[in-house]
Structure 1
Amino acid sequence: MKRIILMAVFSMAFFQGYTQHVDVDSLITVLKSELKKENSYDLTRLNRIRQLRASLLLADSNSFDLRYNLTSKIYEEYSSFKFDSAYVYVQEMIRLAEKFKKRDQLIASEIHLGYTLYFSGFYKEAFDVIGKIDTTGFSKKQWSDYLTMRARLNQSIADFDNDPFFSRGYYEQSDRDFKSAQVVVPYNEFEKTINQALLPDSLRKRDLSPDYFFNLINQQNLSPHHVAMVATHVSAAFQGRDRILFLALAAIGDIRSSTKETLAIFLLAQDLYHMNQTNDAYIFMQAAARNANFYGARNRAVQIESLLPLVAGKVIDEKQHQRDKLLIGFLIFFLVAVVLFFLLFIYRKQMLQIRASEALIKEKNKQLEDVNEKLLESAKIKEELIGLFFKTCSSYIEILEKMRHQTMHSIKLKKYNEVNDLMKDIQINKEKESLYNMLDSAFLAMFPNFIDSFNALLKKEDQIWPKSGETLNATLRIFALMRLGIHEQEAIAKILDYSVSTVYTYKTRIKSRALVPPNDFEQKIMEIKFIK
């Protein structure tokens, strides 16, 4: 979204004027975006050339104006786009002017040829061309164009030589030609203002800031190509980020006008490299190299080839440095991760031990609870049984005491028949039955669900239920005593007045009919809940 907004802003800046302060980084971002659309701008120019060439093929060979104008337009398209094609069409312009004896067009074409050779780095050839031009009878405009061409050529040779001794003469000649051209055709107000940027501070009429020139350029409704030319010219007056601002603006104009003979993006890359913005410098230097190779600018290609390896080397060094930092960071992260892994391993091991201990403690607590519950149950049962025992014993002691008193009384009175009758009144079986009923009642008071739980362990047809009027029958009574904790068959037989084999038979018969394995039956009996 930010990129789209920036694109819209700078589109307005080119065509409607721009009066706000521009951030250099934002302009660099727009330039990178425009580089991605470079091919689409080139296709637009190629389509225009294709249409012009088609029109030229259909033009009347005897019509000088039509053919010259079309050839001139094709040359203008190629002049900053591709050297060899521009050279072909400027030669055709010269041929047409000579054929039809048009001196003004011939002079203009020869100056164009000089520019074409100059753009591609053929400085000697360019000097040869302008040296052969007959300047007799030149108009002011022709003199201005001629002198401007010669001034730029001298300046470029001086820049290319880059030597204090040999370059000085070329610079001096260039300065004289520029001044002479200005005398012949004075600058307009816009050109005068722009040129003030290059003057020393003491010679300026006013304080002219970078923002002022930036806004001034964008308020002139210039084409992208002319914006690039003016911005490149103004950039020489500034340093640092202010210079970057104008070079970036010029580079954007060159891309949008599909200009391959461009100096701006090379200078921009060079300045960014010196400012240690290596990644951006490498991107723009590569673009400059593509443009120089495409156009055929041999002089520019030499400059780029001398600097591009340095930029690339610095990019590689920075990336290697970043990789080293990343590797060091990764190693530190790895070591921290290993330490954390071992800490987590130890922590997990300790947690597992703690959990195992907690589980063991819970298990032991559960066992203790079960033991305590069983002890409590056993104590309660014993309490109930002891109470029943003392109650029963007290009752029988009272009966025995009464019988002893009656017996002693009858013996003293020698009423032996009464003693005999008293002994006959004692019914042992009835007393046993009474004792069992008392025991059954006490047991069912403690285990009211015993009969239901017992029969739940048997099939329906094998279930044992007391008859009407019974509390427990013989079979239920055997297992009731087992539930009270009496497991020895001899003890059960003695209490119930059965033989040991009878008790064994009862137990075996019931276990064989149980729904659970015989070995688990007694355990299930013991699990019948005691009710407090």
Structure 2
Amino acid sequence: MEKVLFVSVFLLLLLSMGHAQTKRSDSLIIVLKSELAKDGQYDKSKEKRIEQLKMHLVGIGAEDFKSRFNLYTDIFREYSSYKFDSAFQYVRLMTDLSEQFGKKQELIQSQILMGTTLVSSGFYKEAFDITDAISSDELPNTLKTDFLFLRARLNAGIADYDNDAYFSREYYRQSAEDFKSAEIATPSNDFEQTINLAFNKDSVAARHLTPDFFYHTIIRQSLPAHNVAMVATRVSYAYTGYDRVLFLTLAAINDVRSSTKETLAIFLLGQELFKLGKTNDAYEFMQEAAKNAKFYGARNQVVQIESMLPLVAGKIIDEKQHEKDKLLIGLLIFLIVAVVLFFLLVIYRRQLQRIKVNEQMIREKNTELEDVNAKLWESSRIKEELIGLFFKTCSSYIDTLDKIKHKTLHSIKLGKYKEVSQLLKEVQVEEEKDRLYEMLDSVFLTMFPNFIASFNALLKKEDQIWPKSGETLNATLRIFALIRLGITEHEAIAKILDYSVSTVYTYKTRIKSRALVPANDFEQRIMEIKFIDSNYF
């Protein structure tokens, strides 16, 4: 009995902890969205710091190696997780300056930073060339540790890129070996050792270390935002579900605050939310991840992220379609039940009226026994007939309802929506069409958020067409939206939008005649409007 009670209490505690963790993760996601809205402000602050450093550089003489090298280093560190091209430019300046003055240690330091920058952008072959050219045996411990971390990241990166059980195995083994060697060269401090406990299940169980413990440990350290993001991302690999979401959201928030564009945190957050069924948030964060990767210049991440985005977008479309199907089925059931209830009420009303007539006749003929008996017998027969009719009618409606139900479900299952439409004569078709167009507009603008602006860019300012307040797309924009989706035949467009073929032709001709590009090229330019416009990122 005590054992059962203990297990019950333990399960309740787990459930309450899980619920609390979900609420905390949701709260952090709200904070993240708020920070994303301010990312331009953080980027401006970083650009301002970089410009100030560049201004300091102007006043330093060409022979002052130390000051110039230190400023190059500071500018590189500002760019290192922000923009690959600029970071690469300044780490090359560091390398050239070190070679010019014959500074061997600074040269190796610059080469290691060069390799780290190349790994971040997916230049694995070039990074391997750098690591192969460096001999780690004669390096001091600090540089040796940096070198080993570089090689570990490089091997892990190429293993992830290969994504093959056979070929990736050796890269993962080498990466793990380099991380161990780096730990020997420069042992972890107390904070790093505490964070590493998250990956030691025995220590976690023995010390009762919960995700909350590691979360508060990170927060209490008062680390710079970029460091918080890196530590939180590392801890996230020890967990799954909402526990992992908690740490990845914390990492993403601090990446935004530190203007870090070279980051996987927000993409990993999108992946985890997608697994948990939070598709809209997953899509939003993956779009942000793609934007960051393109801004930074992380070619490997762009490919990985953009391969996932269509899957998430497809899931969103499927969910909306499923909601629409549920609405239609609900409406169908409601109409059937309403019709059945209406006829039942008519029958009940008639039955009550007849009973009242019979009772009145009995009261009027009460003085004569034979008449009363006759009337009672007649009334009894009427009641029997009415009851029989009632049950027969109910049975008939039930059979009819059952046939309609099976036929409707069968037709829906086979995709025969026209047969369903025949059963739903009272459905407001025009309203359903309006809803369909609204959904079409919403889905289309989700896939092509820059469509309206790109469309109007092909027209003179006075000829541009913008939706009115409350509209998503108007008639003209909707015709060209269908063309962008690959529906080019006039008959098909007219049928979808319930226009005449001549109306569609007139709309198209009128717009092409006002275009800034040749009429023959207009539709091609419409087709070139990107699924996700590069300017958006």
Per-residue deviation, residues 199-258 of structure 1 (Å, max 9, x unmatched): 233687623210000000000010110000000000000111101100000000101100
Give, in angstroms, the shift of residue 103 of structure 1. Answer: 1.4
CA distance in 1, matches of 2:230, 2:288: 18
Cα RMSD between the aligned structures?
2.5
Q: 1:326 to 1:71 in 2, by over 3 A?
A: farther
CA distance in 1, matches of 2:319, 2:284: 14
CA distance in 2, matches of 1:51, 1:175: 40
In structure 2, the partner of 1:450 is: none
Give, in angstroms, the shift of residue 49 of structure 1. Answer: 1.0
Give, in angstroms, the shift of residue 130 of structure 1. Answer: 1.4
Q: Which runs of 5+ in 2 are unaligned?
A: 1-19, 342-537
In structure 2, the partner of 1:34 is: 35
Give, in angstroms, the shift of residue 148 of structure 1. Answer: 1.2
Give, in angstroms, the shift of residue 323 of structure 1. Answer: 3.9
In structure 2, the partner of 1:233 is: 234
SS for the counterpart of 1:108 is helix
Q: Computing the radius of gyration over CA atoms, which structure comes out larger, 1 or 2?
A: 1
CA distance in 2, matches of 1:204, 1:123: 39
In structure 2, the partner of 1:53 is: 54
Does 2:106 align with 1:105? yes
Give, in angstroms, the shift of residue 109 of structure 1. Answer: 0.6
In structure 2, the partner of 1:70 is: 71
In structure 1, the partner of 2:293 is: 292
Q: 1:68 to 1:326 in 2, by over 3 A?
A: farther
Q: 1:330 to 1:31 in 2, by over 3 A?
A: farther
CA distance in 1, matches of 2:318, 2:331: 19
After superposition, residues 196-211 of structure 1 pair within 5 angstroms as 196-201=197-202, 206-211=207-212
After superposition, residues 391-402 of structure 1 pair within 5 angstroms as none
In structure 2, the partner of 1:79 is: 80
Q: 1:323 to 1:181 in 2, by over 3 A?
A: same
Give, in angstroms, the shift of residue 56 of structure 1. Answer: 1.4
Identity of aligned residues (%): 58
Q: Which runs of 5+ in 1 are unaligned?
A: 1-19, 341-532
CA distance in 1, matches of 2:328, 2:36: 33
SS for the counterpart of 1:164 is coil
Letter in 2 for 1:227: V
Give, in angstroms, the shift of residue 338 of structure 1. Answer: 12
Contact 1:196–1:204 at 8 Å: present in 2 too? no
Q: 1:167 to 1:98 in 2, by over 3 A?
A: same
Contact 2:204–2:210 at 8 Å: present in 1 too? no
CA distance in 2, matches of 1:96, 1:279: 49
Contact 1:154–1:170 at 8 Å: present in 2 too? yes
Count of residues paired in the alignment: 323
In structure 1, the partner of 2:142 is: 141
Letter in 2 for 1:140: N
In structure 1, the partner of 2:186 is: 185
Give, in angstroms, the shift of residue 321 of structure 1. Answer: 2.6
TM-score by length of 1: 0.57
After superposition, residues 454-493 of structure 1 pair within 5 angstroms as none
After superposition, residues 121-200 of structure 1 pair within 5 angstroms as 121-200=122-201
Q: 1:204 to 1:87 in 2, by over 3 A?
A: farther
CA distance in 2, matches of 1:97, 1:327: 72
SS for the counterpart of 2:207 is coil
CA distance in 1, matches of 2:35, 2:321: 29
In structure 2, the partner of 1:244 is: 245
Contact 2:29–2:249 at 8 Å: present in 1 too? yes
In structure 1, the partner of 2:121 is: 120
Contact 2:198–2:204 at 8 Å: present in 1 too? no
Give, in angstroms, the shift of residue 322 of structure 1. Answer: 3.0
After superposition, residues 254-269 of structure 1 pair within 5 angstroms as 254-269=255-270
Q: 1:336 to 1:74 in 2, by over 3 A?
A: farther
Give, in angstroms, the shift of residue 332 of structure 1. Answer: 8.1
Give, in angstroms, the shift of residue 181 of structure 1. Answer: 0.8
CA distance in 1, matches of 2:241, 2:125: 34
In structure 2, the partner of 1:217 is: 218
CA distance in 1, matches of 2:81, 2:55: 21
CA distance in 1, matches of 2:307, 2:188: 37
Letter in 1 for 2:197: Q
CA distance in 1, matches of 2:204, 2:332: 61
Letter in 2 for 1:245: L
CA distance in 1, matches of 2:88, 2:338: 67
